[in-house]
Structure 1
Amino acid sequence: MKKVFYERPYRFIFIPLAVAAILSLVSFIVMQLWNNLLPDILHVGVITFWQAMGIFVLCKILFGFGKGGRHGWGGGAPWMRRHMEQRFRNMSPEEQEKFKAKMRDRMCNWEGRGPDFGRFGRQWNDFKNEPEQENKDQ
């Protein structure tokens, strides 16, 4: 048996209880919002706690569980974008090409699908010119 079970056995009890409590709280909130808003607006029936839990779980399965702010160059916090731009500017040309090749492999060459295809249509060197353009405007 692993040492983990002996060091912190409380987490194997606490974590499932915390997950159940959060799921119950969210289901209760979904039920209350549904029952207080939708019957008057859309003329639908009221739902029970278990139906609200089912709707919540179904939505999580269909629409995902959320992955935070890491969605390519355009997603996430603005400070992260500035940080990545600064890193890219400080790379040598060989490192830039290596980085571009690695990103192309990760994104399955999505950059060739057109400028309107999500965040991946952005050209690599566009942001190199952005600070210069901002300085010219000022």
Structure 2
Amino acid sequence: MKNCKSKCAAFAALAVVCIAALSYVVMLLWNHVVVSLADGIHAIDYCHAVGLLILSRILFGGFRGRHGHHRHCGSEAMTADEQEKVRCGLFNRFKSKKDAE
């Protein structure tokens, strides 16, 4: 149980550090790229960069997580032959015309 708590604490600390670093990068990019594009746009500080990052995540990414459920959905119900047909179909889609001849 103690090991699980330490892993959770380490993950939370890593998440905070990643968010802080990403917010700093957003602030730098905004201040160096977007401000130079137009005269009416002002530089932002760190708190505004965090807000911009959260807003963009809400508008474009959502907060639903990425567990890869769509990749494995229904694969348990398929037989081995059906899985092989799907796999061959995907590989055939990317073959060049020379390989087909």
Give the TM bin, normalised by the shorter chain. 0.5 to 0.7
Q: What value does the CA root-mean-square deviation take over the aligned residues?
A: 3.7
Q: Does 1:87 find its partner at 2:69?
A: no
Residue identity over aligned pairs, in percent, reads 24
Change (3 A) 1:33 1:6: same
Structure 2 SS opposite 1:56: helix
What's 1:47 paired with?
Answer: 44
| Runs (5+) with no aligned partner, structure 2 | 72-81
Change (3 A) 1:6 1:60: same
Structure 1 SS opposite 2:35: helix
- After TM superposition, the score normalised by the length of structure 1 is 0.47
Q: Larger relative CO (CA 8 A, sep 6+): 1 or 2?
A: 2
Count of residues in Structure 1 that have an aligned counterpart in Structure 2: 85
| Runs (5+) with no aligned partner, structure 1 | 73-84, 91-125
- After TM superposition, the score normalised by the length of structure 2 is 0.62
Alignment map for 1:3-18 (pairs within 5 Å): 5-18=1-14
Aligned counterpart in structure 2 of residue 24 of structure 1, from 10, 20, 24? 20
